[in-house]
């Protein structure tokens, strides 16, 4: 007949040193029979209290490093959201300046300016959303300024083209 202590000893013999040390770090939560088998296994492997303490220090350092990485990731996420908001503001500002320029130069009616503003802002938001979805970390101040310039130029050319064709 096998005793609980023998079953635990057989199980612990199959574990590697890391697993045995992890159990030793939690030995207060083990049954008495399990604790005795574990102490026997530690003695067989020459792993004393110093090994268990070193393992516990290593585990706490790993947990601390993981927590530091989590905090850093959280800060970077908020920083990235702030940057993206700035890039979106640049794109929308460029759009509104272009609309204002078009209104001033081409002297369009107020209703045409309102519709053009609505359409261009929707396009600007779509461009920004696609940029974030597909470009991810590549979205920088430089790429945002370039995208804004190209978007505003395309908008200007489109309005001039429509105005020219409407006049003829």
- As for how many domains the chain has, the answer is 2
C-alpha 61/C-alpha 42 separation (Å) is 23
Q: Are residues 26 and 88 in the same domain?
A: no
Token pair for 56: 């516990």
Q: Are residues 31 and 82 in the same domain?
A: no
CA dihedral of 144, 148, 154, 160, whole degrees rounded to 10: -170
Kindly report, residue by residue over 121-167, the tens digit of the pLDDT.
888 888 778 777 776 667 778 888 888 888 888 888 888 888 888 77
C-alpha 81/C-alpha 58 separation (Å) is 35
Q: Are residues 137 and 97 in the same domain?
A: yes
Q: Which residue has the tokens 């503003």?
A: 117
Question: How far, in Å, are 11, 33, 136, 137 from residue 5 at the CA level?
Answer: 10, 5, 56, 56
Report the phi/psi class of residue 46: left, alpha or beta, with left for phi > 0 and alpha for psi in -120 to 50: left
C-beta separation of 91 from 141 below 8 A: no
- The domain containing residue 21 runs over which residues? 4-47
Eight-state DSSP code of residue 133:
I
69 found inside a domain: no
Q: Are residues 20 and 94 in the same domain?
A: no
| Cβ burial, residue 26 (10 Å; 0-12/13-18/19+) | exposed
Residue 1 has pLDDT above 70, yes or no: no
Kindly report, residue by residue over 44-58, the tens digit of the pLDDT.
988 877 777 777 777
103 found inside a domain: yes
pLDDT (average), residues 85-108: 86
pTM: 0.50
């Amino acid at each position: 007949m096998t005793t609980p202590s023998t079953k635990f000893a057989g199980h612990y013999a199959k574990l590697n040193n890391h697993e045995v040390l992890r159990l030793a770090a939690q030995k207060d939560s083990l049954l008495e029979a399990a604790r005795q088998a574990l102490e026997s296994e530690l003695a067989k492997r020459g792993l004393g209290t110093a090994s268990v303490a070193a393992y516990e220090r290593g585990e706490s350092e790993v947990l601390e490093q993981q927590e530091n990485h989590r905090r850093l990731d959280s800060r970077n996420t908020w920083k990235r959201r702030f940057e993206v908001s700035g890039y979106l503001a640049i794109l929308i500002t460029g759009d509104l300046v272009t609309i204002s320029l078009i209104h001033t130069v081409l002297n369009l009616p107020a209703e045409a300016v309102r519709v053009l503003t609505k359409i261009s802002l929707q396009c600007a938001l779509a461009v920004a959303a696609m940029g974030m979805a597909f470009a991810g970390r590549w979205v920088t101040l430089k790429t945002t300024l370039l995208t804004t310039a190209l978007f505003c130029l395309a908008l200007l050319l489109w309005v001039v083209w429509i105005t020219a064709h409407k006049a003829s």
